[in-house]
A and B are shown apart, each in its own frame.
Chain A
Amino acid sequence: MKKIKVGIIGTGNIGSDLLIKIIRSPYLECGIFTGQNPDSEGILRAKKLGVKTSFESIRAIEKNPKCCEIVFDATSAKGHLYNAPILKKLKKFVIDMTPSRIGKMCVPSLNLESSLKENNINMVSCGGQATTPIAKAIMKINPNTQYIEIVSSISSKSAGIGTRNNIDEYTQTTSEALVYFSGVKKAKAIVNLNPADPPILMHNTIYAQIKNPKIDLTTKEIKKVVKKIQQYVPGYKLVLEPVYDNGRLTTMIEVIGRGDFLPIYAGNLDIINCAAIAVAEEYARRKLKIKKHEIK
């Protein structure tokens, strides 16, 4: 069967994990895996997998635009600022994994359909992928929610240098996504890197300040949302159903990774990549005129 070709710029944790997911995909194949360092572990690994590689970063795609139709940019916010206009000129469908915020924010369970109409979409952040659908569920049932705050704890081992150098952009983008998707007036995002060994699983706490929340209905809605996300992130789990005290509703989500590139503790890596692949596969299915398989 014909597959749609994709390119990956950036050969770190995110890029390497995307590659494995693409190799497994029935609709996608990797046309180019490109970074800056010819000796990087990512490049060497990709070569062993028989994937075409380059160390000329985006130049590889400029030189041979036919190598891919979809481009995942897994460099950095700064990197994407440089890459975005070039990819636009080349008319690529761009899935931006960095917190650059150039394109429209995309969380597949919330706005897959409209995202497919864009030419550059931004995958927000791992914390954003994990928590914005829950925030939206809380707001849907309790429109009087005054404030939402999320805390994502991720293992140090799963936070690459990109995340570390962009930690401000990460929290900023996540809090803006919470407001954008849920409609809450005020939101805050916190991220913790935990070095414990063995590494901790990705853990997310969502707090909401609400007067008289409808707890049962909220729980029901959240469970519905969790099921929807599990269609593309199999390790997404509700670990604490909403509890309420002192004006504060608390609920917790854990994400167990698929263990593709990094072990299962790296649920943070997995969720943002699973979300990106969900978008790319839907794009590919439409191109290939394969029956719709939308996330219900």
Chain B
Amino acid sequence: MKSNNREVLIVDSTLRDGSHAMKHQFTVQDIVQYARGAELAGTKILMVGHGNGLGASSLQLGLSLVSDKEMLVAAKKQLKKTQLGAFLIPGFGTIKNDIEPAIVDYGVDVIMVACHCTEANITRQHIQYATKKNIKTYGVLMMSHMISAEELLVQAKLMEEYGVAGVLLMDSAGTYLPKDVSEKVSTLVKGLKVDVGFHAHNNLGMAVANSLIAVESGANILDACSRGLGAGAGNCQLEVIAAVLNKVGIKTGLDLYQLMNNSENIIAKLMKAPIEINDITLTSGLAGVFSGFAPHAKKAAIKFGIDVHDLLIELGKRKIIGGQEDIIIDVANFLKQKKEFKDEDYQIESLL
């Protein structure tokens, strides 16, 4: 590992992915308080908004307490050196309704355009629009465990062609083991001219380790969240990965004590529940299901009187992707009707 003088860009997604853990109920005060802390910690990019990005506040995914506009404007006021970032998934938000006002009116400096890992060509319009406005734009491939390293490279190259500054791979289901990370990240590093990044989830307890492996494999962007606040079992814990990188001699430009202070005195206090690996998030990690599904699956299982583990495993089998939260109800209804289903078909062992 070439660690001398290497610097890794850590993107702080606490106020974006963390929104999932808050059931999208961040208040303006939460945002103001955390943005102030992030600025003090020397954060380069602070992502803010609904967990699924601009325009995603919906009955499908959960309504935000505060509008995209209010969130971004409130955060922007607190930031000086720290750049404000917004996330968008085509199909949920649009250029006209969301990206344009975010850039022109709310002062967003960085845009991440995300899509399911096989669908990069739906991001062309949005990436080209943002880069034309001289906005630093990243492409994000979600649920990247679902296809091979070579297939990911094909998709990442499309984003590169559209003009991104870097491509991030998301382990949206928290299902990666270190060998998966090193294989996929190094394939992208070799094949792309632009930067490569990694976004971990902690369903199998691997988020920090996998993020380190990503850096060792050549990634120079990491997505992380204070106290791990994020969907499912949470994300790569920001202050921990910063400490770990520090230990191996990789620069982040972040103030570690301030990061810990933010985690302890801001995020820990506003969290609804501790971020932990429980039976549901562990099962969803094993099943390769989008981390954001956990609360929806829990609700649907109760409503339809079925086992939540069976539901998550069935969703994994059907390869339901992020954004298809409505299908959870459909599948729950299916499982309820399929009373005679054989238990052995649904054992966790079958996934290992």
Q: How many residues of B contact A (CB 8 A)?
A: 31
Q: Given the complex, which residues of B lie within 8 Å of A197, measured CB to CB?
A: 319
Cβ of B333 under 8 Å from chain A: yes
For the complex, what is the distance from the CA of A165 to the CA of B126, rounded to whole Å? 10
User: Which residues of A in the span 199-216 have a Cβ within 8 Å of any Cβ on B?
Assistant: 203, 205, 207, 209
For the complex, what is the distance from the CA of A247 to the CA of B125, rounded to whole Å? 36
Cβ of A153 under 8 Å from chain B: yes
Q: Is the CB of B59 within 8 A of A248?
A: yes
For the complex, what is the distance from the CA of A197 to the CA of B329, rounded to whole Å? 21
- Mask, B159-177, CB within 8 Å of A = 1, is 0000000000000000000
Interface of chain A: mostly helix, strand, loop or mixed: strand
Which one of B113-121, B184-192, B198-206, B215-223 is at the A interface? B113-121
Q: Is the CB of B119 within 8 A of A172?
A: no
Q: Given the complex, which residues of A lie within 8 Å of B326, measured CB to CB?
A: 151, 153, 203, 205, 250, 252
Cβ of A23 under 8 Å from chain B: no
Q: Is the CB of B119 within 8 A of A156?
A: yes
- Sorting the interface of chain A by its residue count into under 10, 10 to 19, 20 to 34 or 35 or more gives 20 to 34
For the complex, what is the distance from the CA of A109 to the CA of B326, rounded to whole Å? 26
With A156-B119, A171-B91, A192-B324 in contact, is A203–B124 under 8 Å at CB? no
Q: Is the CB of B330 within 8 A of A164?
A: no
User: Which residues of A in the span 202-248 have a Cβ within 8 Å of any Cβ on B?
Assistant: 203, 205, 207, 209, 239-240, 243, 245, 248
Q: Given the complex, which residues of A lie within 8 Å of B320, measured CB to CB?
A: 194, 196
Q: Given the complex, which residues of A lie within 8 Å of B124, measured CB to CB?
A: 164-165
Q: Given the complex, which residues of A lie within 8 Å of B116, measured CB to CB?
A: 192-195
Cβ of B347 under 8 Å from chain A: no
For the complex, what is the distance from the CA of A164 to the CA of B119, rounded to whole Å? 9
Q: Is the CB of A149 within 8 A of B58?
A: yes
With A168-B96, A239-B330, A240-B333 in contact, is A194–B324 under 8 Å at CB? yes
Cβ of A190 under 8 Å from chain B: yes
For the complex, what is the distance from the CA of A197 to the CA of B321, rounded to whole Å? 12
Instruction: Indicate which residue in B94, B97, B303, B323 contacts A192 across the interface (CB closer than 8 Å).
Output: B323
Instruction: Indicate which residue in A190, A195, A245, A248 contacts B92 across the interface (CB closer than 8 Å).
Output: A190
Q: Is the CB of A195 within 8 A of B119?
A: yes
For the complex, what is the distance from the CA of A171 to the CA of B330, rounded to whole Å? 23
Instruction: Indicate which residue in A147, A172, A203, A207 contacts B327 across the interface (CB closer than 8 Å).
Output: A203
Q: Given the complex, which residues of A lie within 8 Å of B90, measured CB to CB?
A: 167-168
Q: Is the CB of B319 within 8 A of A196?
A: yes
Q: Is the CB of A172 within 8 A of B330?
A: no
Q: Is the CB of A171 within 8 A of B94?
A: yes
Q: Given the complex, which residues of A lie within 8 Å of B134, measured CB to CB?
A: none
Q: Is the CB of A190 within 8 A of B60?
A: yes
Q: Given the complex, which residues of A lie within 8 Å of B149, measured CB to CB?
A: none
Instruction: Indicate which residue in A147, A167, A240 contacts B91 across the interface (CB closer than 8 Å).
Output: A167
Q: Given the complex, which residues of A lie within 8 Å of B330, measured CB to CB?
A: 203, 239-240, 252
Cβ of B66 under 8 Å from chain A: no
User: Which residues of B in the span 78-106 have a Cβ within 8 Å of any Cβ on A?
Assistant: 90-92, 94-97
For the complex, what is the distance from the CA of A161 to the CA of B124, rounded to whole Å? 11
For the complex, what is the distance from the CA of A195 to the CA of B151, rounded to whole Å? 13
Q: Is the CB of A156 within 8 A of B324?
A: no
For the complex, what is the distance from the CA of A252 to the CA of B334, rounded to whole Å? 13
Task: Give 5 nearest A-B pairs by CB, closest first.
Answer: A205-B326, A196-B319, A207-B59, A195-B118, A168-B94
**Residues of chain A at the chain B interface (Cβ within 8 Å):** 147, 149, 151, 153, 156, 161, 164-165, 167-168, 171-172, 188, 190-197, 203, 205, 207, 209, 239-240, 243, 245, 248, 250, 252
